[in-house]
């Protein structure tokens, strides 16, 4: 089921996201819903708080909504090693009409649990590495717009408030 995307500055994007101790049917359902939502909205990654669920779950597929060939569902993902750094131009489904450039590690090693409870680990580089860092930032309550400097953030916040008030 496709869910509604929570948009900045919705407070749910800044709340604490709890660890998932038990992979219940509800967690599996949430993973399916997040995958559907990510594809439907044209994203390559999505974190649970973006659909209003404050837990440690992300979905990623850098092959994109057209191909849908590299889906990763990560429970309690954690970056355990980083290497190098790059500049990355990114957008975010929770930040309509926003693009920002941030510094990311060039390579990351990530560990997580899969939906069967198995412990997984992978090394990623390029787009996947940036995408994983972006989604894991969401789980810490950090948005792309919080990483581009105060001026740019304030301008975007104003723009969003205007947009929102004109919809009323």
Question: Which positions lie near Zn ion, rule CB under 5 A?
Answer: 92
Identified catalytic residue from 16, 89, 90, 135: 135
Q: Is 53 a catalytic residue?
A: no
Phi–psi pair at 26, nearest 5 degrees: -65, -40
Residue nearest to Zn ion (CB): 92
Residue of 133, 139, 145 lying closest to 105 (CA atoms): 133
Task: Name the minimum Å distance from CB 135 to Zn ion.
Answer: 7
CA dihedral for 139, 143, 144, 150, sign (positive or negative): negative
Task: Name the minimum Å distance from CB 14 to Zn ion.
Answer: 13
Comparing CB distances to Zn ion, the nearer of 25 and 100 is 100
Comparing CB distances to Zn ion, the nearer of 92 and 108 is 92
Comparing CB distances to Zn ion, the nearer of 7 and 23 is 7
Task: Name the minimum Å distance from CB 113 to Zn ion.
Answer: 21
SS3 4: coil
What is the tally of helices (H) and strands (E) in the chain? Answer: 4, 7
CB atoms within 10 A of CB 147: 17
The owner of tokens 């969401």 is 138
Task: Name the minimum Å distance from CB 94 to Zn ion.
Answer: 5
Comparing CB distances to Zn ion, the nearer of 24 and 110 is 110
Phi–psi pair at 32, nearest 5 degrees: -65, -45
What residues act catalytically?
135
């Amino acid at each position: 089921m496709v869910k509604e995307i929570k948009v900045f500055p919705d407070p749910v994007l800044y709340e604490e996201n709890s660890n998932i101790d038990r992979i219940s049917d509800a967690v599996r359902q949430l993973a399916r819903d997040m995958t559907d939502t990510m594809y439907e909205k044209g994203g390559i990654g999505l974190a649970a708080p973006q659909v209003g669920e404050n837990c440690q779950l992300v979905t990623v597929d850098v092959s994109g909504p057209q191909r849908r060939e590299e889906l990763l569902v990560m429970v309690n993902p954690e970056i355990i090693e980083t290497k190098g750094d790059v500049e990355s131009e990114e957008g975010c489904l929770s930040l309509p009409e926003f693009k920002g450039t941030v510094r990311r590690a060039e390579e990351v090693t990530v560990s997580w649990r899969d939906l069967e409870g198995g412990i997984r680990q992978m090394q990623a580089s390029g787009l996947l590495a940036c995408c994983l860092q972006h989604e894991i930032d969401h789980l810490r309550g950090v948005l792309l717009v919080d990483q581009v400097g105060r001026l740019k953030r304030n301008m975007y916040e104003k723009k969003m408030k205007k947009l929102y008030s004109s919809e009323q």
